[in-house]
Chains A and B, each alone.
Chain A
């Protein structure tokens, strides 16, 4: 196990944790979503690290799929945010609370 592999995994875990904490703490929908993207990319990093460790191309290729999906997700997400913004004039996640019970 070469140190680069270990460092990549540690970095990936750190980024993922930062993402989770961010999703829990942030209130603005855009920052929330940025943290989700951070988590996705942390996972991508883990993928690439494993792929490099094995000397296989597969993991690196799969990252491309995940990135494409993340882009599509961003498209849909931002559209939903805009729809919310149009009716409320803000996108603060904790104040979007018509539905509760």
Chain B
């Protein structure tokens, strides 16, 4: 019997986890600075203090972004950190998009903080924690790690949503978001438990690895029974040995022979025994339901319009862009891991397609009846979640599940869509927030904007055309939809392609309504025209301009997006 305990020293890949460490430490640093700056630096003005916090937040995000960019280039796709994380190209680029969205948030937030008198330190610390959760989620390779990440980002976003405590709407949005989010995470946990029950592990390796893992765990179950059997054997033998009889030796030998035979027979059994697909699929369905809440996909979307309307606009922007990108990255890693069960595509395709269909139709039809800008954008983001899910369904479809090349192409198309989706929502929410009350409320208030603020009206038009996507080439939204639908048609999923077309056609009505209001309709007499100079800052204008420029640039040369990653 061996009594010595071998010390197990885990290998920590510091270069790989450094971005997440920086984000978390950055959040803590912000909290410390927020508390100590007043004491340490005598006579610091609140504006100066807030700008220090802004720069520290922006700086740590920028450094992390550079690290992710470095990781994209040098990615191995191998699991690290005890198999809890796995940074493939998709995960790293997803994290990069998340960083972009949150940098824009930081650039836009000084204005919000000044106007609404919000506590800057708390906001930036929560932002950094949320970003740590999002980036980790996009490279998560272990279900409980993913759950903890989802909770970190959700908890931060709940508080950010309710940040504006003077507004009852903001609190109500936080309340609704919290209740439904907590409800969803219970489904997530039960789903994880079922997948654990089906496979004996919570890790999502690449497809082949998970299979081995599962066989190993099944072998372990078998071995455990064997050991139990053997122990009772040994007990019996001990009794005989104590009786002090010599011929026992042969009995032991025979018992060992028998044990080996049992082990051999069990091994064969383990290798042919299939994993428990019912638990696996049930677990997937539950996790998917939980993710649908976070992604505001159709049957579970009811919180989105209320939360987007009640939350400060740029927080709504963060919820619509960064958190969705991270959750989609996780969803894609999840469905890839489900490939261990060869009937997974057939079983899940109906589920994914129906959720995509319902999201597209419900989102687009719901947006038609909306009269308020942010609610309209919320329904539009539900529909866009549906289009991205069409991509995920294509990824799962039997035709492309076992074809690595097609798989890679579809993943790329989804990533491109996520990137474009982030850019256009940044632009739309950014301009709505820029216009303040005028832009965040009724769409009717946009009437005659082209004469009052021609540049902003042009930017909003660009965002709307890009969100509309199909029909007008030259924007990133067009190419995003084009790639996703092309892959869907290639994989033989014409039904989903048609649904996407129909959805886009419906969406023309409500996107172009904004454009018509800005350019063609006269100003309403009773609309309060906020004519004067809007308070602004350079970062805000710059990030709006950058998003607009990138929408056009990648709309004309979409192939250059892939040059970024290689």
Contacts and interface: CB of A to CB of B under 8 A. Distances in A.
A43 B182 CA distance: 13
A59 to B, nearest CB: 6
B186 interface: yes
Interface stretch (B191-199, B254-262, B405-413, B535-543): B191-199
Given A54-B220, A66-B147, A69-B147, A43 B309 contact: no
A34 to B, nearest CB: 11
Nearest to A64: B144
A10 interface: no
B524 to A, nearest CB: 20
A48 to B, nearest CB: 9
B189 A54 contact: no
A68 B504 CA distance: 43
Interface in B169-202: 169, 171-176, 178-179, 182-183, 185-187, 189-190, 192-194, 196-197, 200-202
Contact of B178 (A76, A98, A99): A76
A59 B192 CA distance: 10
A61 to B, nearest CB: 9
Contacts of A55: 220-221, 224
B438 interface: no
A81 B175 contact: yes
Contacts of B190: 16, 39, 42-43, 46
Contact of B196 (A19, A36, A50, A76): A50
B169 A46 contact: no
Nearest to A39: B186
Contacts of B173: 99
Interface string A11-43: 000001001000100000100110010011011
Interface stretch (B157-165, B317-325, B340-348): B157-165
B178 A77 contact: yes
A6 interface: no
A47 B183 contact: no
9 contacts: A23-B179, A29-B179, A40-B189, A43-B186, A50-B196, A50-B197, A56-B217, A58-B196, A73-B155
Nearest to B173: A99
B306 A36 contact: no
Interface residues of A, number: 45
A19 B187 CA distance: 11
Given A43-B190, A69-B147, A69-B151, A54 B310 contact: no
Interface in A42-95: 42-44, 46-47, 49-51, 53-56, 58-59, 62, 65-66, 69, 72-73, 76-77, 79-81, 83-84, 87-88, 93
A65 B144 contact: yes
A58 B202 contact: yes
Contacts of A80: 158-159, 162, 171, 174-175, 178
Interface in B211-228: 217, 220-221, 224
B405 to A, nearest CB: 36
Contact of A83 (B144, B148, B174, B224): B174
A36 B182 contact: yes
A58 B196 CA distance: 10
A98 B174 contact: no
A21 B173 CA distance: 23
A68 to B, nearest CB: 8
Nearest to B198: A50
B174 A47 contact: no
Contacts of B172: 84, 96-99
A54 B174 contact: no
A83 B165 contact: yes
A3 interface: no
Contacts of A100: 306
Contacts of B151: 69, 72-73
A88 B175 contact: no
B370 interface: yes
Contacts of A66: 144, 147, 189
